[in-house]
Amino acid sequence: MTIWTDIDRHLVRYAGPGEFSPDIIDRAAGSFLFTEDGRRILDFTSGQMSAILGHSHPEIVATVQRQIGILDHLFSGMLSRPVVDLARRLADTLPEPLEKVLLLTTGAESNEAAIRMAKLVTGKHEIVSFARSWHGMTQAAANATYSAGRKGYGPAGPGNFAIPAPNTYRPDFTDADGELDWQRQLDFGFDLIDAQSVGSLAACIVEPILSSGGILEPPAGYLSALQQKCREREMLLIIDEAQTGLCRTGSWYAFERDGVVPDILTLSKTLGAGLPIAAVITSAEIEAAAHDRDYLFFTTHVSDPLVAAVGNTVLDVLIRHRLDERSAKLGVFLRQGLDTLADRHPIVGDIRGRGLLVGLELVANGADQLGARVTRRCLELGLHMNIVQLPGMGGVFRIAPPLTATEDELSLGLEILDRALADIA
């Protein structure tokens, strides 16, 4: 019997129509994965868009080894020094009034907690999000997720609405020059929200760059205008920076570009650099209002000291090595290489994104199937890529290497992608 016999017999398939990768991963280090049969694979997705410091970073390893022998897990009502330190240090990276922190486990859980808080504080229940959003697979997070996973599970919770996602490459509302008229699109979206609402709009939850939606970056000014729509309706603005937060896009937080400050911020993937820790961060005013209404989010792993210690180490490395600046610099290098590929391969229609979160969209007929074939070919050649396939869009590669990657490693990935595009196209 082979391991694949056990896989076929015993593992639940959880990726929808997607299949498991054909390789069994034995270990990982830095920007590379190593299979049981000895192959080396360059990781251009940072695991699940999480391992921003690469795999098995020595400081993360040392922290886990030290902390597991001192204090790993507590009763959920108990506190430890790593938790308090991480809360304070996260607040120090953020603009006022974001200073109150709840430490949890996953991105879905943090969005669940944020939506629950918004409903309790506002006394309302309706939630707005983008039509190509991904916020998680737990109940409230899944209700606010529109890019996948909605069919076949029965009715979603009442009061969940979608607005059009701003896509500058495939605009649905255009100006005289054929460019995306995002203000008109946003106005139209909220006209529909107002028509459907029963007068109980609690919050809008959005990603500052939609990742699973195809690396869609709202134009400059969009988030500010969205926040104004929320203010007019006395809604809270929740920004989900699971993939964009903590230096990935060339700044500490993607929302900083637009000069907005969310009412509630959620972090997850990048905070643990591959380990499961998430955060909900809000103002003292909102936290006090939630507490006065008996806010309850008492989970098994809330405020766990082990992963909080890892979060502190992640901040140490980000600050010491100025990885926000490094991400911005490497992002320029990566973008230049991808632009060269776009010039060489007619099937590449668009390059977009910010820092080390970049999308490459294929536009040939059957681009979604073509993208799947390119993905498989990249893996055969030693590069792990991820393709987003959504109705109405071509195949969009999500490229998110570790912030610790070198220019040589990025060049290797570009060379493999170049060859794969040539082989398949």
144 and 248 inside one domain: yes
CATH number at residue 203: 3.40.640.10
Tens of pLDDT, residue by residue over 115-124, are 999 999 999 9
The confidence score (pLDDT) of residue 394 equals 67
Look at residue 63 and tell me if it is in a domain.
no
The confidence score (pLDDT) of residue 369 equals 83
Look at residue 65 and tell me if it is in a domain.
no
- 316 catalytic? Reply is no
- 172 catalytic? Reply is no
280 and 202 inside one domain: yes
181, 207, 241, 361: the active-site residue? 207
Residue 208 has pLDDT above 70, yes or no: yes
Q: What is the mean pLDDT of residues 252-276?
A: 98
The confidence score (pLDDT) of residue 91 equals 98
100, 124, 134, 361: the active-site residue? 134
Residue 272 has pLDDT above 70, yes or no: yes
Nearest Cα to Cα of residue 208 among 139, 281, 272, 130:
130
108 and 237 inside one domain: yes
Q: What is the mean pLDDT of residues 329-357?
A: 97
254 and 273 inside one domain: yes
- Domain-terminating residue out of 261, 286, 320: 320
Nearest Cα to Cα of residue 303 among 115, 117, 75, 108:
75
Tens of pLDDT, residue by residue over 277-313, are 999 999 999 999 999 999 999 999 999 999 999 999 9
- 13 catalytic? Reply is no
Amino acid symbol at 218: P
- 269 catalytic? Reply is yes
Residue 144 has pLDDT above 80, yes or no: yes
CATH number at residue 365: 3.90.1150.10
Look at residue 405 and tell me if it is in a domain.
yes
100, 119, 269, 326: the active-site residue? 269
163 and 267 inside one domain: yes
- Domain-terminating residue out of 320, 342, 367: 320
DSSP state of 18: -
191 and 299 inside one domain: yes
Residue 392 has pLDDT above 70, yes or no: no
The confidence score (pLDDT) of residue 366 equals 75
Mean pLDDT lowest for which of 153-157, 179-183, 324-328, 412-416?
Answer: 153-157
89 and 217 inside one domain: yes
Look at residue 131 and tell me if it is in a domain.
yes
Q: What is the mean pLDDT of residues 211-222?
A: 96
226 and 131 inside one domain: yes
52 and 125 inside one domain: no
- Quickly list DSSP for 329-382: HHHHHHHHHHHHHHHH-TTEEEEEEETTEEEEEE-STTHHHHHHHHHHHHHHHT
Look at residue 214 and tell me if it is in a domain.
yes
Q: What is the mean pLDDT of residues 177-190?
A: 98
243, 304, 350, 409: the active-site residue? 243
- Specify the residue for token string 């987003």: 388
Model confidence, pTM: 0.97
Tens of pLDDT, residue by residue over 121-142, are 999 999 999 999 999 999 999 9
Look at residue 86 and tell me if it is in a domain.
yes
Q: Could you give the number of structural domains in the chain?
A: 2
The confidence score (pLDDT) of residue 108 equals 98
Q: Are residues 299 and 375 in contact, defined by beta-carbon separation less than 8 angstroms?
A: no
Mean pLDDT lowest for which of 8-22, 253-267, 380-394?
Answer: 380-394
Confidence of residue 327 (pLDDT cuts 50, 70, 90): very high
Tens of pLDDT, residue by residue over 146-176, are 999 999 999 999 999 999 999 999 999 999 9
Q: Which domain holds residue 143?
A: 71-320
288 and 393 inside one domain: no
Look at residue 66 and tell me if it is in a domain.
no
Mean of the per-residue pLDDT values of the chain: 96
- Domain-terminating residue out of 320, 337, 362: 320
96 and 191 inside one domain: yes
Q: Are strands 236-240 and 160-163 parallel, antiparallel or unpaired?
A: unpaired
106 and 226 inside one domain: yes
Look at residue 64 and tell me if it is in a domain.
no
